[in-house]
């Protein structure tokens, strides 16, 4: 099929969790029938149901794995939840959430002319259990979604192709969005029937578990709507219990300031001491709450060749990463989500992982970073060496490096380290 080159089929890790495999009573979201209809212009000369059926087939042919349709008024409570989240400061450094909160919380505010919202999902199911990577302490651990081509590029290209097809069939105006726009994809995806927001606030699919990239097409066409998906979490709280930093104050609530994905990707500054040990070997993101979900037993491997993981990017050698300068970092992670982090914040994370590794040999690559141009890197080099060499060895190095150190945060890191 166009845009879909199936990857080699093998049994993913979650099939070993439960031998029941797929339940025959669960139909893929992409074949659900439209059950409602949003208000729209009268006198349309196309059959809405037939158009949607054809669009579903086209979406699957392009490589999408799930599709559903909802309306801009389908998530009336989302704006209020977002406002409370922001008012409590749980967004941390993500000031862009505040800047566009009004448009993010209400799809009509983003584009008043929109009559229907087409939500699409692309499966990126891994072939291993991401939790197993945590034991590889001498290697970095990159989130499953980031060890491959940037999904923004893959999804947006296909959204645009599907959008052109829709305009050719039925006209209308439309806009496509992938994550970077102020769109609340997960509530909209639930309203469109692709899945539901679990207690960890992420989308869970009965067919694809935790592993769906989302994109949306807003259109002025009035299309038949799908039923929303109900919550199927029940009494399960595995996603809450596994979080190493207690980032969930309550079910369905996230404090991003304590989330390792936020801290290792979005956070701009130094990572506070209390989170460094819990980071373990995670150097970009965290999959714990996603990977532990029991619904992954119904998931399947990513079938799309464009989303094939790059060899070595999921669990890279920490010693080699410590040697990266900016050019080498950009070359290594070109075309992946990791690149946007930048070398300095990435090395900040790598140094924390190195400090947690227990491998004293890594200190050879860490010591030169005490003089790195970036204070983020210098500070974490101090902490990492403390973990691997101890306070006495670090104290012997302090005079030489503190003599020319002007950054107050780095000096504070040295003071804490040599007095511990």
| Residues assigned a catalytic role | 179
DSSP state of 122: E
- Residues with Cβ within 8 Å of 407's Cβ and at least 6 positions away in sequence, in order, are 375, 378, 379
Cα–Cα distance list, 193 to 88, 106, 125, 206, 286 (Å)? 30, 19, 19, 10, 26
> Among positive and negative, which fits the CA dihedral 104, 108, 111, 114?
positive
Q: Identify whether the C-beta of residue 354 lies closer than 8 Å to the C-beta of residue 388.
A: yes
- Residues with Cβ within 8 Å of 286's Cβ and at least 6 positions away in sequence, in order, are 143, 244, 259, 260, 261, 264
- Residue 396, H or E segment: helix 391-402
Q: Identify whether the C-beta of residue 240 lies closer than 8 Å to the C-beta of residue 251.
A: yes
Neighbours of 231 (CB within 10 A): 12
For residue 365, what are its two tokens? 């690559």
Integer Cα distance of 402 and 420 in angstroms: 17
> Among positive and negative, which fits the CA dihedral 57, 127, 27, 183?
negative
């Amino acid at each position: 099929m166009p845009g879909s080159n199936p990857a080699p089929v093998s049994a993913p890790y979650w099939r070993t969790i439960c031998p029941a495999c797929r339940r025959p009573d669960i139909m893929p979201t992409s074949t659900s029938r439209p059950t409602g209809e949003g208000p729209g212009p009268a006198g349309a000369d196309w059959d809405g149901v037939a158009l949607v059926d054809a669009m579903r087939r086209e979406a699957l042919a392009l490589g999408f794995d799930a599709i559903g349709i909802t309306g801009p008024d389908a998530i009336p409570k989302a704006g209020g939840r977002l406002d409370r989240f922001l008012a409590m400061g749980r967004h941390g450094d993500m000031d862009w959430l505040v800047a566009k909160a009004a448009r993010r919380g209400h799809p009509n505010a983003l584009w008043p002319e929109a009559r229907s919202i087409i939500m699409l999902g692309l499966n990126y199911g891994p072939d291993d259990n991401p939790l197993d990577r945590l034991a590889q302490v001498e290697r970095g651990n990159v989130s499953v979604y980031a060890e491959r081509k940037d999904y923004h590029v893959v999804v947006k290209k296909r959204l645009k192709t599907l959008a052109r097809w829709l305009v050719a069939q039925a006209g209308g105006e439309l806009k496509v969005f992938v994550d970077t726009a102020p769109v609340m994809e997960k509530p909209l995806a639930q309203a469109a029937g692709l899945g539901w927001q679990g207690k960890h606030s992420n989308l869970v699919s009965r067919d694809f578990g935790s592993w769906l990239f989302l994109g949306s097409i807003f259109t002025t066409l009035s299309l038949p709507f799908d039923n929303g998906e109900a919550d199927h979490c029940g009494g399960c709280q595995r996603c809450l219990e596994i979080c190493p930093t207690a980032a969930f104050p309550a079910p369905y609530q996230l404090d991003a300031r304590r989330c390792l994905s936020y801290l290792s990707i979005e956070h701009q500054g130094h990572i506070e001491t209390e989170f460094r040990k819990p980071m373990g070997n995670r150097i970009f993101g965290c999959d714990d709450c996603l990977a532990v979900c029991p619904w992954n037993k119904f998931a399947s491997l990513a079938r799309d060749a464009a989303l094939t993981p790059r060899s070595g990017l999921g669990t890279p050698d920490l010693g080699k990463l410590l040697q990266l300068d900016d050019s080498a970092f950009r070359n290594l992670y070109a075309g992946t989500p990791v690149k946007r982090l930048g070398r300095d914040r990435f090395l900040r994370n790598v140094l924390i992982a190195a400090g947690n590794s227990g491998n004293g040999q890594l200190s050879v690559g860490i010591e030169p970073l005490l003089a790195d141009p970036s204070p983020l890197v210098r500070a974490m080099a101090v902490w990492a060496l403390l973990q691997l060499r101890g306070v006495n060895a670090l104290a012997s190095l302090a005079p030489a490096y503190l003599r020319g150190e002007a950054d107050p945060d780095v000096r504070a890191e040295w003071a804490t380290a040599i007095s511990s």
